[in-house]
Structure 1
């Protein structure tokens, strides 16, 4: 029996997602082994969005985290983590929601990103009105061209200005290089090092200006092993905890293993080569071109078309897969796939024993 096979599969409706905690724990330990210093880890919880997975990381000694939404931030507050960075610049109502989360979970030190003075002032005013101050990281654009200010003179001026605004406390820099994901490690390393050079220069400029040395949080999963070698940087990979087919293909040197599997069934036999599965756009992340899922037990299955509730695949001989046959699949992109499910089944010793609520998939929990 393969590691992913489930003895009680007949009790699990499809489509569904199954988590394997033993493999999650192994991925966590591998992450710690790769960096050597658990205090430099700030994993991104956007992958699992699940409090129980956070608890497994806490049990391994990880107590600083990164998140992308207010719901994820609240999940971290509920878990009682020491630090939770909102890797997002809150604007409008999100500022008030972040304040509410910080007030509701005072044991957790919440922080957020800023990349311009006007937003920094708005955040500061909201917190100062409650006699509070929130730590902020200045978001740097190191080539992603999504958010952030480019390292340089303007960035130094902004970081200096942040120190004069009541209601925020600048503590560091955030440099996400998600645009760097070349399969060849040497190429990826060269690009990562080049993108980080202006950040290093800015750190020195900040210190030369007489300001406290900033904490630097850098990279994601593809550049994790590169930044892990830099003791001056905190690292924030996310996908490692569950892994997916996309990173298995494109980041081959990282030794993480699949810990989340999609369950789908044959619901129709179309002809001698085409099958229809109940795995539509609503069940696996659809932002990438096909194939969006790799089937562990039918690796030759090739997607032909997909709709909201259906996935048509081509196989060599459909007589081998009658209606009701279970396919076990790994998504190409696990993070948005997790957001499509309210709960995940939890398997141990080839049996589903419980389920965990994917609590932070919602836009809000209580705040």
Structure 2
């Protein structure tokens, strides 16, 4: 049997997303090894897994800090009593009240969120004051991603403004450099170093000026290895927990293993070189061009069309396939693929043994 083959696959309906528990646990240890087991220097991003059991496994490995993208993900972490939760997002509108309500309900946790402007920061601080709790914020710094964040040159002025706002504590700096995607580690590290240098210089100057600590939470999966080599930087990778075909192609040198595998079944034989499976848009992240998956037991199969419930493949010889045959596939992008599933099918010792509910795929849980 190949490592991914499941003995009781006939009991698992398709499409489904399998999580191989042993490989997932090995990925946690690989991430910790990279950090020399300094658990205070890693803050995994849970947007990839959105699942309590996965986060609990990280906590059992000694990880106490987490990052998330949605209030639902933050609530999932709070329900697990995760000690330190960073919402790597700037709440606006009704999200501010939801964010405050979450903190009121889970006072046992430390919460912080991001800001990149004084207007929103004041709104966040005021909402917290009404609830009689203190707002804790990280300054979101834009060092090249150009998605959110204050430009490096404007951060000193923003910090000065924030320090004058009542009921607000600046906890540190947040830097995400997901735009760095060069093919080789050496190129990625060189670009990451160049983008990070002005941030580090600014941090040193501001800490000396104000005599306050400004720890930096930095990076994602593509720059994890680079930031791990810096002293006093907290790394926040997410995809490492399951890994995917996209990052494996980009970063084959990384130690992480595929721990999440899609299963799909052949549903039709169209002609001598065309088959159709049940892996539609609703079953795998569709934001990338073809291919959106890499097939483990049909590596030459080539996706040519996809709709909501169907994926059409070109193959060398369709007679090699039969209706009902199971294909195993690695998604190019695992994070939004997980969000398409209500539950993950857990594999141990080559068999599906249980399922884990992906509770944070919803935009809200109770709040």
TM-score normalized by the length of structure 1: 0.98
Question: Would you say 1:134 and 2:135 are equivalent positions?
Answer: yes
Tell me if the contact between 1:40 and 1:234 (Cα under 8 Å) persists in the aligned partners: yes
3-state SS in 2 of match to 1:287: coil
Indicate the residue corresponding to 1:105 in structure 2. 106
Indicate the residue corresponding to 1:158 in structure 2. 158
Question: Would you say 1:294 and 2:294 are equivalent positions?
Answer: yes
3-state SS in 2 of match to 1:25: helix
Indicate the residue corresponding to 2:315 in structure 1. 315
Indicate the residue corresponding to 1:148 in structure 2. 149
Tell me if the contact between 1:303 and 1:313 (Cα under 8 Å) persists in the aligned partners: yes
Indicate the residue corresponding to 1:64 in structure 2. 65
- Greater CA deviation, 99-108 or 329-338? 99-108
Question: Would you say 1:47 and 2:48 are equivalent positions?
Answer: yes
Tell me if the contact between 1:44 and 1:236 (Cα under 8 Å) persists in the aligned partners: yes
Inter-partner Cα distance in structure 1 for 2:160 and 2:59: 34
Inter-partner Cα distance in structure 2 for 1:227 and 1:183: 17
Alignment of 1:342-353 (within 5 A): 342-353=342-353
Consecutive unaligned residues of structure 2, counting only runs of 5 or more, are none
Alignment of 1:8-27 (within 5 A): 8-27=8-27
Indicate the residue corresponding to 1:200 in structure 2. 200
Give deviations 1:260-279, integer Å, cap 9, x for gaps.
01010000000111100000
Tell me if the contact between 1:281 and 1:306 (Cα under 8 Å) persists in the aligned partners: yes
Inter-partner Cα distance in structure 1 for 2:311 and 2:176: 34
Inter-partner Cα distance in structure 1 for 2:82 and 2:290: 38
Indicate the residue corresponding to 1:282 in structure 2. 282
Indicate the residue corresponding to 2:325 in structure 1. 325
3-state SS in 1 of match to 2:265: strand
3-state SS in 1 of match to 2:222: coil
Inter-partner Cα distance in structure 2 for 1:2 and 1:167: 57
Indicate the residue corresponding to 2:259 in structure 1. 259
Inter-partner Cα distance in structure 2 for 1:237 and 1:263: 26
Tell me if the contact between 2:100 and 2:131 (Cα under 8 Å) persists in the aligned partners: no
Indicate the residue corresponding to 1:114 in structure 2. 115
Inter-partner Cα distance in structure 2 for 1:34 and 1:274: 44
4+ runs deviating over 3 angstroms? none
Give deviations 1:27-57, integer Å, cap 9, x for gaps.
0000000111111000000000000000110
Could you tell me how far 1:130 is from its partner in structure 2? 1.5
Could you tell me how far 1:319 is from its partner in structure 2? 1.1
Inter-partner Cα distance in structure 2 for 1:102 and 1:15: 37
Indicate the residue corresponding to 1:358 in structure 2. 358
Tell me if the contact between 2:66 and 2:84 (Cα under 8 Å) persists in the aligned partners: yes
Inter-partner Cα distance in structure 1 for 2:363 and 2:174: 24
Tell me if the contact between 1:156 and 1:205 (Cα under 8 Å) persists in the aligned partners: no
Indicate the residue corresponding to 1:77 in structure 2. 78
Tell me if the contact between 1:303 and 1:311 (Cα under 8 Å) persists in the aligned partners: yes
Indicate the residue corresponding to 1:184 in structure 2. 184
Indicate the residue corresponding to 1:268 in structure 2. 268
3-state SS in 1 of match to 2:136: strand
3-state SS in 2 of match to 1:270: strand
User: How large is the RMSD of aligned CA atoms in angstroms?
Assistant: 0.8
Tell me if the contact between 1:123 and 1:167 (Cα under 8 Å) persists in the aligned partners: no
Tell me if the contact between 2:183 and 2:250 (Cα under 8 Å) persists in the aligned partners: yes
Inter-partner Cα distance in structure 1 for 2:264 and 2:242: 19
3-state SS in 2 of match to 1:110: strand
Inter-partner Cα distance in structure 2 for 1:171 and 1:194: 24
Could you tell me how far 1:205 is from its partner in structure 2? 2.0
Could you tell me how far 1:168 is from its partner in structure 2? 1.8
Query: How many residues align structurally?
Result: 366
Indicate the residue corresponding to 2:126 in structure 1. 125
Tell me if the contact between 1:133 and 1:166 (Cα under 8 Å) persists in the aligned partners: no
Tell me if the contact between 1:244 and 1:258 (Cα under 8 Å) persists in the aligned partners: yes
3-state SS in 1 of match to 2:322: coil
